[in-house]
A and B are shown apart, each in its own frame.
Chain A
Amino acid sequence: MNEERKHIDNIIRDKLFNYSPPPPPGAWKKIEADLNQSKNRFLTSPLLRIVAVIAVITGLTAATLFYVNNRQTPLRDIATNATESPDNNLVNQSVNHKLTEERKVENTNIQKRYIKEKNLPVTSTNTREISFDRKENISFVTEIKIAEDEIVNENSNYKLIPNNNVVFNDTTNTEYIVQPEVKRSNQFITEDKPDLIADLSRNAEKFKPRSLQWLIGGQFGPQYSYTKAFQENVIRQVNDYEEKESAVVAYAGGFNVQMQPSKRFSVQSGVYYSKIGTSVSATRSVSPTSSLNLPEPEFVLVDTGRSPGSQPVIIATFNYSDNSSGKYISPEVYLSRQNSELKAEQYSEYVEIPLVLKYKIVDKKLDINISGGVWTHFLISSKTVIVGENNYLSRTVSDRTENINSFDYSGSLGLGIDYPVSPNILVNLNPVFKYYLSSDNSRSGLKPYTFGIMTGFSYSF
């Protein structure tokens, strides 16, 4: 009876296996239209659209804040217009000073700048108690009083930052840019002490824009990487593959240099190491795939596919005969039956060079910044590891994976927190999302993304 059933099956199979009816008229045109649409499609995924919108909003916000911030503190203009005192030796004179600018500033930067200036030889002359007295009709006009007993008192509320004509109030976190006016008095400044106003006047003449601040640092952290088919049609098409592919957590880290031309804005670069990986079920894509007419296969291939590569990896030799039925079976079926837990893990290691712009949105004791930039990735190695329960299948395959692009670019968006633990050292926490701008696999067309939580420190000098 069983033989007869098989016979019936074979009769039907012989008739139908190579049956080739004419395809529906117009079917190709529809496929062609979809292919063209797919090529031209951009930002069709809701997730990608959200990311794009966030990036645009972040960029616009950062640009606006940067612009507004600069408008509020025309430091260069103030300095240029500063009136030099006719007498550089302003001993025993009281002076009215135009407080040309008042602004709330972020503590950290000013502190850093102060600390920096404090180390200069002239520091002792510039750390003094200063009070302000505004008058009507003259906006930001005040009188600076200098008390002798507060000289070189680092606990003073007000500190002068000589090169920038700035005084800073630690208590109120307020920075004042002082423009000296020509009005003399003999009230506050003593003969035997260096004179603040003279100093201000001299500095006004030779005023220079705020000097660049440099920071160096390092970061390290776990990084989750994955390739996701953002486009809906691609998701549908590769759905059965994605079910068998999962992300793995790897690590990234490196050293960076940060240039800070203004308090809020900075440019960062450096050298980073990054490792991304994907775990793929070996049952996913094994070639040859025909369950019939198998061309005497001697080995099974694991195609790790889209991310990060499609290196065929020889993992074992098999006899494809099925003991129970005697039929030929497809290698993927054989493999799935024999080693359901078998997985292939692929890792790619990169050296990365970032160019990242950062902008502080909160500049307090705890800084919060947003960042965005471009990373260039240089591939240094790619490895495949076969992980299986069966010892004879478990092995590390260190072949270099084929079809991985030797370099790639990614765009990044990040949020960062900086906290000063000492005058010169900041610790930071920096979640970063990176989306590859091109595929890491020259044949897949799908782009990986990574999410890392980096922690580290920066040293300012």
Chain B
Amino acid sequence: MADNIENIIEGCRRKEPNAQRELYETFSGKMFGVCLRYAGSYQDAEDVLHEGFLKIFEKIYQFQSRGSFEGWIRRIMVNTALEKYRNQYKVINIQDNIKEPEYDSFEDLTDNITAKELTEFIQALSPKYRIVFNLYAIEGYSHKEISEMLNISEGTSKSNLSRARAILQDKVYKYYSRSIRVETL
């Protein structure tokens, strides 16, 4: 697999159409998953995927083959998405007192929720919540790093994350409750 990826990357560096197509087929699914999480709609996600892959093919010569290639293209996708929503997550956030709902076991609640449904919940968040949640919870950036990346304060980042978490938990809970009701009926 690793050798195959290396061959694909080399082919892409030489701008070979077959290699480019193979690379797309290998990673388009996962990358579309990334795009869907950052984008507000399916159409927006498709746009990010499109732009992101063009950027990947253009910049693939910069990849040094020493780290994770998937990590590299994932970062390009994330950056492309950030670029798209740049004007939307700079909205000044008012520090609202968010009280996160408390549930018995979030893990239990999410057991029956598919990744597609969870992605839709994230998509439904406003950009400022969605982006921060993705960067912190899924990509692993700290609030300080996020504040630098998005040019917002750390407090705003924390606040947005907290709010995003609360909304998601609420959505999951409501979804779970609905599912229970349907099963009961």
Instruction: Name A residues whose Cβ lies closer than 8 Å to a Cβ of B.
Output: 4-5, 7-9, 11-13, 15-24, 27-28, 30-32, 34-35, 38-39, 233-234, 236-241, 285, 287-295, 297, 301, 303, 305-306, 310, 312, 322, 324-325, 327-330, 333, 336-337, 403, 441, 443-445
**A27 engages B28 (CB within 8 Å):** yes
Q: How far is the CB of A443 from chain B (nearest CB, A)?
A: 4
| Other-chain residue from B54, B67, B115, B122 in contact with A289 (beta carbon distance below 8 A) | B67
Tell me, yes or no, whether B6 is within 8 Å of chain A by CB.
no
| Other-chain residue from B24, B62, B67 in contact with A290 (beta carbon distance below 8 A) | B67
**A322 engages B137 (CB within 8 Å):** no
> Would you mind naming 22 contact pairs between A and B with Cβ atoms under 8 Å apart?
A4-B106, A5-B100, A8-B169, A9-B138, A12-B110, A12-B118, A21-B116, A21-B119, A23-B49, A28-B21, A32-B21, A35-B15, A35-B17, A237-B54, A287-B67, A288-B72, A295-B68, A297-B67, A312-B66, A329-B140, A337-B145, A444-B61
Report A-chain residues with C-beta under 8 Å of the C-beta of B37: 16
Interface residues of B in 116-149 (CB under 8 A from A): 116, 118-119, 122, 136-142, 144-145, 148
Chain A residue at minimum C-beta to C-beta distance from B74 = A290
Q: How far is the CB of A243 from chain B (nearest CB, A)?
A: 11
- Known: A21-B36, A312-B66, A327-B140. Is A15-B57 also a contact (CB below 8 A)? no
- Known: A8-B169, A23-B29. Is A239-B67 also a contact (CB below 8 A)? no
- Report the Cα distance A89→B134, complex, angstroms: 103
**B142 engages A324 (CB within 8 Å):** yes
Q: How far is the CB of B103 from chain A (nearest CB, A)?
A: 9
Chain A residue at minimum C-beta to C-beta distance from B61 = A443
**B59 engages A11 (CB within 8 Å):** no
Indicate the member of A13, A312, A327 with the most B CB atoms within 10 Å: A13
The 7 closest A-B pairs by CB, nearest first: A288-B67, A290-B71, A443-B61, A20-B29, A9-B137, A19-B33, A290-B68
- Known: A23-B49, A237-B58, A237-B59. Is A289-B68 also a contact (CB below 8 A)? yes
- Report the Cα distance A178→B100, complex, angstroms: 103
**B119 engages A291 (CB within 8 Å):** no
**A16 engages B169 (CB within 8 Å):** no
**A288 engages B145 (CB within 8 Å):** no
Report A-chain residues with C-beta under 8 Å of the C-beta of B31: 23
- Known: A21-B33, A31-B24, A289-B75. Is A310-B141 also a contact (CB below 8 A)? no
Interface residues of B in 54-94 (CB under 8 A from A): 54-55, 57-59, 61-64, 66-68, 70-72, 74-75, 79, 83
- Report the Cα distance A288→B62, complex, angstroms: 11
**B32 engages A24 (CB within 8 Å):** yes
| Other-chain residue from B15, B25, B145 in contact with A333 (beta carbon distance below 8 A) | B145
Chain B residue at minimum C-beta to C-beta distance from A292 = B140
Interface residues of B in 1-57 (CB under 8 A from A): 13, 15, 17, 20-21, 24-25, 28-33, 36-37, 42, 46, 49-51, 53-55, 57
**A293 engages B68 (CB within 8 Å):** yes
- Report the Cα distance A234→B51, complex, angstroms: 11
**B148 engages A336 (CB within 8 Å):** yes
- Report the Cα distance A254→B106, complex, angstroms: 73
Tell me, yes or no, whether B163 is within 8 Å of chain A by CB.
no
**B75 engages A327 (CB within 8 Å):** no
- Known: A9-B136, A16-B115, A287-B64. Is A27-B50 also a contact (CB below 8 A)? yes
Report A-chain residues with C-beta under 8 Å of the C-beta of B63: 287
- Report the Cα distance A27→B43, complex, angstroms: 11
**B50 engages A30 (CB within 8 Å):** yes
- Report the Cα distance A39→B54, complex, angstroms: 12
Q: How far is the CB of B40 from chain A (nearest CB, A)?
A: 15
Chain B residue at minimum C-beta to C-beta distance from A31 = B53
Interface residues of B in 136-185 (CB under 8 A from A): 136-142, 144-145, 148, 165, 168-169
Tell me, yes or no, whether B107 is within 8 Å of chain A by CB.
yes
Report A-chain residues with C-beta under 8 Å of the C-beta of B29: 20-23
Which secondary structure dominates chain B's binding surface? helix
Interface string of B99-119 (1 = CB under 8 A from A): 010000011001001011011
Report A-chain residues with C-beta under 8 Å of the C-beta of B21: 28, 32
| Other-chain residue from B46, B55, B107, B119 in contact with A19 (beta carbon distance below 8 A) | B119
**B32 engages A21 (CB within 8 Å):** yes
Indicate the member of B20, B46, B68, B113 with the most A CB atoms within 10 Å: B68
**A27 engages B46 (CB within 8 Å):** yes
Report B-chain residues with C-beta under 8 Å of the C-beta of A18: 30, 33
Report B-chain residues with C-beta under 8 Å of the C-beta of A329: 140-142, 145
Report A-chain residues with C-beta under 8 Å of the C-beta of B32: 20-24, 27
Report B-chain residues with C-beta under 8 Å of the C-beta of A287: 63-64, 66-67, 72
Report B-chain residues with C-beta under 8 Å of the C-beta of A9: 136-138, 165
**A16 engages B118 (CB within 8 Å):** yes
Report B-chain residues with C-beta under 8 Å of the C-beta of A310: 61-62, 64
Indicate the member of A22, A291, A333 with the most B CB atoms within 10 Å: A291
Report B-chain residues with C-beta under 8 Å of the C-beta of A20: 29-30, 32-33
Chain A residue at minimum C-beta to C-beta distance from B30 = A20
- Report the Cα distance A18→B42, complex, angstroms: 18
Report B-chain residues with C-beta under 8 Å of the C-beta of A27: 28, 32, 46, 49-50
Chain A residue at minimum C-beta to C-beta distance from B42 = A24
Q: How far is the CB of B87 from chain A (nearest CB, A)?
A: 15
- Known: A24-B46, A327-B142. Is A237-B55 also a contact (CB below 8 A)? yes
**B51 engages A17 (CB within 8 Å):** no
Report B-chain residues with C-beta under 8 Å of the C-beta of A240: 79, 83
**A233 engages B54 (CB within 8 Å):** yes
Report B-chain residues with C-beta under 8 Å of the C-beta of A237: 51, 54-55, 58-59
| Other-chain residue from A13, A22, A38, A290 in contact with B137 (beta carbon distance below 8 A) | A13
- Report the Cα distance A24→B29, complex, angstroms: 9
Chain B residue at minimum C-beta to C-beta distance from A305 = B62
Known A-B contacts: A19-B115, A292-B140. Give 16 more (CB < 8 A).
A8-B165, A11-B107, A12-B138, A16-B115, A18-B33, A21-B116, A27-B28, A28-B21, A237-B59, A287-B72, A288-B72, A289-B71, A290-B71, A291-B75, A292-B139, A328-B140
